[in-house]
Structure 1
């Protein structure tokens, strides 16, 4: 069975056969989780490390007025919260977007893996740094990019991340994110987002409809977004 978690870590550094065997064992008993189910909620005591093997999930916070801010999208191969166990409680929630296959690695087992296997530890740390780089890119978008730049930048990111893990090698990507979910990640209303998506469609850069993203003109979309992929650190993948 394909294990995108191992594939992702392999892209961040060399893993020995023993490293791969240990990671396979640690993720050998995944469970099926229905879509729109919380894996863990804000205020809960941190538990195991969640590894998304199939499907999509997101991090989010609910504000006192009931509105939601999506903080990150998780794709197959992504792991959640390497060091969150050091805290007393979760400061955000994690929810599946689609039906997902999720493995859980006990905190003690993860600590032992990283202590005994430096190759795994290095790859996990790099993966965490890439997650932090992605968060900085989102903060920059929310603070300084215009609405159309913000939407275009997120589409570039999601498409590139999906292509990196083999979800697509075509201009089109199955994107299981509703406009409401996208709006909550972009700090926009659904009505405003719909206007921006129409503007991007008219420009010929991209089309988003019915759970599918078509990057019609990659150069134009990148130009609109001012997109620079360096925060995803794909150079590490190419060098590995």
Structure 2
């Protein structure tokens, strides 16, 4: 069955299709999920630390992040999320949130009741396997971020992050040839890399000076992909990308 580009849950179907080939019955079951769709402003808290979740949040448009704020008001971003992602999928089994889920940009999100997701995965084990795989890839990305935090230089860390964000978007048809949306601030990059805003700005200037990247109009343009990969010592194995979705 051809993809229904106008269906509200198309981003989720596109994400699932980037991992496995859905049958017509599976695709229809996903499309029939009961959802409540909301348009949210930038910097909106979708789910807060300490809350008990009863639904999963699917990003339809825009960017979101998982983060935590310590007592001094400093924020650590754990992950960035794009259209098709369900950042709180783990709440199906661990409903008490131990971090915040927030929008970074204006975003459209779909809220899917836990019982509906459980029913879907019980009726279609292959979809359950894809969701399980997605949480395992999340864990692999966390491990790579830990390496960046602890062992990579600021330059290598940002270069590695840019490679990751580009390939993740390319896998679901959201990126062009060595260019992708990057609608986040230097402050967001600082909170994701544990660097200061000043340090991030200095590294970005160095990258531009070396002809590696260009940032304009919320778009990351990778001018020298091979050189950026070498600088970051980037190995995409941890992303476990299998095939590119049909956009």
TMscore range, shorter length: over 0.9
Q: Is this contact kept in 1: 2:18–2:171, CA < 8 A?
A: no
Q: Is this contact kept in 2: 1:58–1:71, CA < 8 A?
A: yes
Runs of 4+, deviation exceeding 3 Å = 85-88
Question: In structure 1, what is the equivalent of residue 3 of structure 2?
Answer: none
Offset, 1:84:
2.1
CA distance in 2, matches of 1:133, 1:57: 19
Question: In structure 2, what is the equivalent of residue 237 of structure 1?
Answer: 243
| TM-score, normalised with respect to structure 1 | 0.93
The 3-state SS of whatever aligns with 2:65 is strand
Question: In structure 2, what is the equivalent of residue 228 of structure 1?
Answer: 235
Aligned length: 238
| TM-score, normalised with respect to structure 2 | 0.91
CA distance change for structure 1 residues 88 and 216 in 2, over 3 Å: closer, same or farther?
Answer: closer
Q: Which runs of 5+ in 2 are unaligned?
A: 1-5
Offset, 1:210:
4.6
Question: In structure 2, what is the equivalent of residue 6 of structure 1?
Answer: 13
Question: In structure 2, what is the equivalent of residue 123 of structure 1?
Answer: 130
CA distance change for structure 1 residues 170 and 27 in 2, over 3 Å: closer, same or farther?
Answer: farther
Offset, 1:40:
0.4
CA distance in 2, matches of 1:143, 1:231: 17
**Structure 1 range deviating more: 14-23 or 190-199:** 14-23
1:185-207 CA-to-partner distances (Å, cap 9, x unmatched) read 00000001111111111111112
CA distance in 1, matches of 2:195, 2:80: 16
Q: Quick check: 1:163 aligned with 2:170?
A: yes
- Computed over aligned residues only, the root mean square deviation of the Cα atoms, in angstroms, reads 1.7
CA distance change for structure 1 residues 129 and 27 in 2, over 3 Å: closer, same or farther?
Answer: farther
Alignment of 1:66-85 (within 5 A): 66-85=73-92
CA distance in 2, matches of 1:82, 1:88: 9
CA distance change for structure 1 residues 165 and 88 in 2, over 3 Å: closer, same or farther?
Answer: closer
Question: In structure 2, what is the equivalent of residue 97 of structure 1?
Answer: 104
Q: Quick check: 1:22 aligned with 2:29?
A: yes
Q: Quick check: 1:133 aligned with 2:140?
A: yes
Q: Is this contact kept in 2: 1:16–1:119, CA < 8 A?
A: no
Q: Is this contact kept in 2: 1:177–1:211, CA < 8 A?
A: yes
The 3-state SS of whatever aligns with 1:188 is coil
Q: Is this contact kept in 2: 1:40–1:94, CA < 8 A?
A: yes
Question: In structure 2, what is the equivalent of residue 61 of structure 1?
Answer: 68
Q: Quick check: 1:190 aligned with 2:194?
A: no
CA distance in 1, matches of 2:139, 2:34: 24
Question: In structure 2, what is the equivalent of residue 219 of structure 1?
Answer: 226
Offset, 1:114:
0.7
